[in-house]
Amino acid sequence: MSSRLRQGYRALVIGATGALGQAFASALTQDPRCADVVAIGRSGNATSASRGSTAGLPPWDVRDEASVVALAAALTGPFHFVIDATGALTLDGRGPEKRLADIDAIGVANSLHVNAIGPLLLLRCLSPLLGRGERVVWAKLSARVGSIEDNHKGGWYSYRMAKAALNQGLQTAAIELARQRPLLVVAALQPGTVRSRLSEPFVGDAATPPETAVSGMLAALNGLEPHGRAHFVDHAGMPIPW
């Protein structure tokens, strides 16, 4: 996917301890055009795939605004490719609700905080570290269930709501950020059903390997044009209705 980024581009992988985060870090590290990969997990430590320096990075959590601010202050830009692989389907041992009767306020609030508010804080704090005057990419893992138009089955209330809110935040931020970075590509990515700890309780092994999903998403990102708005696409690069 790096063919449209500058030679020697720098990449940042946020949430690199998850299955997809690890796969992104590994793929980017293997790209000869990528000079630097900073891959951080929730603890602030680097993963084994990281080539970048993470010495001195503080512990952080998407639910703790002060820690996100501190993380951004400890990082050095510019970055040309950022993938935010944070998010959770199951929180505090509770999976997605299937019925209205299963909803409670705390569960909905937790999902919104982890899957929508936290990623928007990351974008707020880290977007100043993006390069200027050249193609740069901010990609965030979203989900097809965040599409309001594509909702045909119902259920999964708080997760659907959180991903829809995330998508709105990305769209709004893309419009604003394009005023100073017109070559910025902002993308909400649907990775498909990927084999991970997140999906295992629901699909078992009947899922795509993370490496395959990441390869598709990187190719999809390479094909996206900056147009002052966000893209919502799947792992094959096909647009998803908002």
Q: Give the other-Cβ count within 10 Å of 204's Cβ.
A: 9
Average pLDDT over residues 47-56: 54
| DSSP helix/strand/coil, 232 | strand
pTM of this structure: 0.92
Domain boundaries of the chain, sorted by first residue: 2-234
Tens of pLDDT, residues 28-43:
999 999 999 999 986 6
The angle that helices 157-177 and 105-112 make with each other, rounded to 10 degrees, is 30
Rounded alpha-carbon distances, angstroms, from residue 33 to 80, 130, 209, 220: 12, 18, 24, 18
Choose from 1-15, 199-213, 216-230 the range with maximum mean pLDDT. Answer: 216-230
Instruction: Name the pLDDT band for 199 (thresholds 50, 70, 90).
Output: low
Q: Give the other-Cβ count within 10 Å of 96's Cβ.
A: 19
Whether residue 55 is predicted with pLDDT greater than 90 in this model: the reply is no
Query: Residue 240 has which token pair?
Result: 């998803």
Average pLDDT over residues 59-76: 96
Lowest mean pLDDT, pick from 30-44, 54-68, 189-203, 219-233: 189-203
Q: Where are the alpha helices (DSSP H) in the chain?
A: 19-29, 65-74, 105-112, 118-126, 157-177, 200-203, 210-222
* pLDDT for position 207: 78
Whether residue 18 is predicted with pLDDT greater than 80 in this model: the reply is yes
107 alpha-carbon distance from chain centroid:
21
The residue that leads in pLDDT, 177 or 207, is: 177
Mean pLDDT of the chain: 92
| CATH of range 2-234; options 3.40.50.720, 2.60.40.680, 2.60.40.10, 3.40.1710.10 | 3.40.50.720
Instruction: Name the pLDDT band for 195 (thresholds 50, 70, 90).
Output: confident
Instruction: Name the pLDDT band for 1 (thresholds 50, 70, 90).
Output: low
Tens of pLDDT, residues 76-112:
999 999 999 999 999 999 999 999 999 999 999 999 9
